[in-house]
Amino acid sequence: MAADVLADRRHRRPGPQPQRSGTLITIGNSDLAAEVADLASRNINFDEREAPPHVTKGWHRDRVTIELGHEAPGEPEKGGLAETAGELVNSYQFSDPKILRAAYKSPGDLVGRNMLLEGRFLFLRFLLGVRIVAAHDELVDGPNGPERLIGWSYATLDGHLEQGKLRYEIAKEINTGRVEFRIIAYSRWSPIRNKLVWAGFNAFGRRTQLSWYHHAMTRLERLLKDPPKTPEPDADGIVRAPSGAGPGRFEGFVVRFAHPGADTRRPTS
């Protein structure tokens, strides 16, 4: 079904499916592995030459941070705070499952990984695609001296409700041992033909986005006290993250929108 046309359908409650991860992603009667595979055919849905830093008008630009703690000065310690935080970020464990969940194929390279995100708002579910376009492991000059940055960035794909790029960073100050988690992003709304989806996203999208940033910060801080295991792929080869996220109160009555944003592969009318 075209991503830029109405794609909402009310389904009967799907029967229980074996998922070792325990994480529920509701895609109706579809095959989750096939949904993830479909993302390979989708393009990045914006032109980076028309996005920050080249063009800033019309874009939200966000930078959210939290101090996670300290470890010994120097490069990240094996099994230490920075490395553990990086692993939790790489496996998407930090995401608040009440707002956003993810599915991706494993094993596979980090760069080029296509991720199917499930946005959740009350009884609404939005299936959205993103692609990891860069991995970060670099020594840079920070405000308090050199920093080791570890993380990755993804860009939105055809059908996403937004257009833009998001970067996750674990930063360790080499001189002080201070470790910080950062989310750095730019985004704008994607054209949405469904007027009801457009109105709802216009009313609640930005608020939900900022709330998710905040919850991601505090969730990662909390997970570091007792880090969960890295989620493993289920029998279908798909990792569902964050691990252990079960159904919500409205799971039997959800309405799903699959890739409701504009699709660059199809001409606009």
Two tokens, residue 165: 């790029």
Furthest-apart CA atoms within the chain: distance in Å: 59
pLDDT tens string 131-163: 999 999 999 999 999 999 999 999 999 999 999
Q: Of 75 and 202, which is predicted with more confidence?
A: 75
Q: Across residues 199-224, what is the average pLDDT?
A: 95
- pTM, full prediction: 0.86
Using alpha carbons, list the distances in angstroms from residue 266 to 166, 256, 269. 25, 22, 9
Q: Determine the angle formed by the axes of helices 81-90 and 195-223, rounding to 10 degrees.
A: 150
Contact between 120 and 211 under an 8 Å Cβ cutoff? The reply is no
Q: Of 26 and 257, which is predicted with more confidence?
A: 257
Place of tokens 């993830």: 36
pLDDT at 7 over 80: no
Nearest to 113 by CA among 142, 94, 95, 91: 91
Q: How many helices (H) and strands (E) does the chain have?
A: 3, 10
Domain 8-258 classification at class level:
alpha beta
Nearest to 262 by CA among 185, 164, 196, 192: 192
Q: How many CA atoms lie within 13 A of 159 on its CB side?
A: 28
Nearest to 189 by CA among 40, 45, 36: 45
